[in-house]
Amino acid sequence: MTKYVRYDLKGRKALVTGAASGIGLGAATALAQAGAKVAINHLPDDPRGREAVETLRAQGHDVISAPGRVGVPKETEAMVETAIAALGGLDLLVNNAGTPGVKATLPVDRLDLVTDELWDQILATNLVGMFRCSRTAAGALKASRGSIVNTASIAALGLSGSSIPYSASKAGVVNLTRNLARALAPEVRVNAIAPGAVESTWLEWTEQQLKWQIEKSLLKKIGKPSDYADVILFLAFGNEIITGETVVVDAGLTL
């Protein structure tokens, strides 16, 4: 994975949710490599989270484990509060935790497959959990004049995504980002990224789906976690005037 030397983040403190793999792990790694102290949130029973912490510590980085299920009331808030206390403050919250709720894409015309349980699961984690994390971290971020970066999706912009509930949840993230930017200004900036496909175990992509993503993108490629991490770090530390925006990062797929 690319080593980030663009930013000197020594003394900075960050919490990344959903950081056991994919974009979250990419962001946590980039932050740690730049010198930040990073709390890596992961599901309590996901061994990948603790493995990521151990790997980064072995490389000499200052990271801690922050287990907890984003989307579960009180557990979400407790995880954020514990992480902030362990870090000694907070400069950046990366709201990346999310779930597609399915292993494979649900065809948009199969409404019979979209259950109430799927709606509840996806909204609880992808949208309400993100709000809870932000609300809990708001005081610490105001004190440091920090920032929040949320993970939305190009599914929020009218694409079908993995399911109707998933796309709706990510559209909510775009709106939530703008309203949190209003609510936490002027001390805290709040932005989002809208990723396209990513090299991860997020969904069980078919060979045809992967081929379509590559062929339809202008740059003929799929993003790596480090590609998305690069934009997250820019929004967090590379500027002081961008807020309320959602940056599309998709190799030109939506074009």
Does residue 196 register a pLDDT over 60? yes
- Lowest pLDDT segment from 173-177, 202-206, 246-250: 202-206
200 confidence band (pLDDT: 50, 70, 90) = low
For residue 67, the cross-strand partners are 42
Measured CA to CA, the distance from residue 141 to residue 41 in angstroms comes to 18
pLDDT digits (tens, 9 = 90+) for 158-182: 877 889 999 999 999 999 999 999 9
Q: What is the mean pLDDT of the chain?
A: 93
What are the CA-CA distances from residue 215 to residues 73, 203, 212, 221 (Å)?
A: 41, 19, 5, 8
Question: Could you give all domains of the chain from N- to C-terminal order, each with its CATH number?
Answer: 13-249 (3.40.50.720)
Query: Edge-to-edge, what's the strand order for the sheet holding 246-249?
Result: 63-67, 37-42, 13-16, 92-95, 147-151, 189-195, 246-249
Local structure of residue 108 (DSSP, 8 states): T
Angle at 182 between CA 195 and CA 174, to 5 degrees: 20
Q: Whole-prediction pTM value?
A: 0.94
Angle at 89 between CA 84 and CA 91, to 5 degrees: 105
Question: Pick the catalytic residue: 4, 7, 166, 228?
Answer: 166
| Amino acid, res. 173 | V
Tell me, what's the pLDDT at 3? Answer: 52
Of the two residues 208 and 228, the one the predictor is more confident about is 228
- The question of whether 166 is a catalytic residue gets the answer yes
Tell me, what's the pLDDT at 1? Answer: 45
